[in-house]
Structure 1
């Protein structure tokens, strides 16, 4: 079985490239920590496959997080600390997985690549 992680980042808040990279990293690590040992090992052993996708706004991230939760997938919403470009507490991205690739795609498969 192939494992994957998808990080969904907002396109409506004007994050710079460095800010986007940092937020994606926060999301990836947080969701990884939410996974069970078996899933973490399988994902790491398979090369830590991940993709970054686009979301139109905060509501879309919360909707996707709800779907991921119902599917039993590790997930994490990231809120910015507000030290640089964004206001404190701004929701920036969501990580879905790591988990079985087919299941992650059921949640995020309709989204465009970032």
Structure 2
């Protein structure tokens, strides 16, 4: 973290402190990676408004403390905490065996990771992987394929990366069966979609 104070000095002419503004080019880079705008502005404030690389280092190091520093220009929205999780909703109507469920959740985890990589939310993976609290994954019980599709639509409406796994049909269930829905995002947003479901 930069030791310099990014807050500009008082204006000699007016004796008043100038308003701090983030570097627009660096802000564009950070938000294009999926960084929340307020988090990006706070990172630039604390790192001297210099570069996206330095700002990302500040954002994804949970060990850095804000104690004793000037308050950020905006309220933080999750910086320095593990605010992301993956949730997997299993289609219980298919009555899959334990091993089959485990395999399908594994497929969903990999496909969800690829889905996020292909999206504008790549920074989500960086923050998710940098957490010292563990990479949160929850497996929930879904009723049927109709419910999985409804939840996927809600996730999409909230701009949450998601995917539904369709089985190849080699064991236990027919080909094309929709087995697991995977969703990734900030905890509070994902909970708007799946918060009412029970653990599997």
Which bin holds the TM-score, normalised by the shorter protein? over 0.9
Larger Rg: 2
Q: Which residue of 1 aligns with 2:84?
A: 3
Whole-angstrom distance in 1 between the partners of 2:189 and 2:115 = 16
Query: Counterpart of 1:12 in 2: which secondary structure?
Result: helix
Query: Counterpart of 1:48 in 2: which secondary structure?
Result: coil
Q: Which residue of 2 aligns with 1:106?
A: 192
Q: Which residue of 2 aligns with 1:20?
A: 101
Whole-angstrom distance in 1 between the partners of 2:110 and 2:194 = 18
- Consecutive aligned runs of 4 or more in structure 1 exceeding 2 Å deviation: none
1:59 positional shift: 0.1
Whole-angstrom distance in 1 between the partners of 2:156 and 2:140 = 18
Relative contact order, CA 8 A, sep 6+: which one is greater? 1
Q: Do residues 43 (structure 1) and 128 (structure 2) align?
A: yes
Query: Counterpart of 1:89 in 2: which secondary structure?
Result: coil
1:34 positional shift: 1.5
- TM-score computed with the length of structure 1 as normaliser: 0.95
Q: Is the 8 A contact 1:32 1:74 kept in 2?
A: no
Whole-angstrom distance in 1 between the partners of 2:190 and 2:152 = 11
Q: Which residue of 1 aligns with 2:178?
A: 91
When the two chains are superposed, the root-mean-square deviation of aligned CA atoms in Å is 0.9
1:30 positional shift: 1.0
Q: Do residues 62 (structure 1) and 143 (structure 2) align?
A: no
* Structure ranking higher in strand proportion: 1
Where structure 1 has 5 or more consecutive residues not aligned to the other structure, the ranges are: none
Whole-angstrom distance in 1 between the partners of 2:173 and 2:129 = 32
Deviates more, 1:54-63 or 1:34-43: 34-43
Query: Counterpart of 2:94 in 1: which secondary structure?
Result: coil
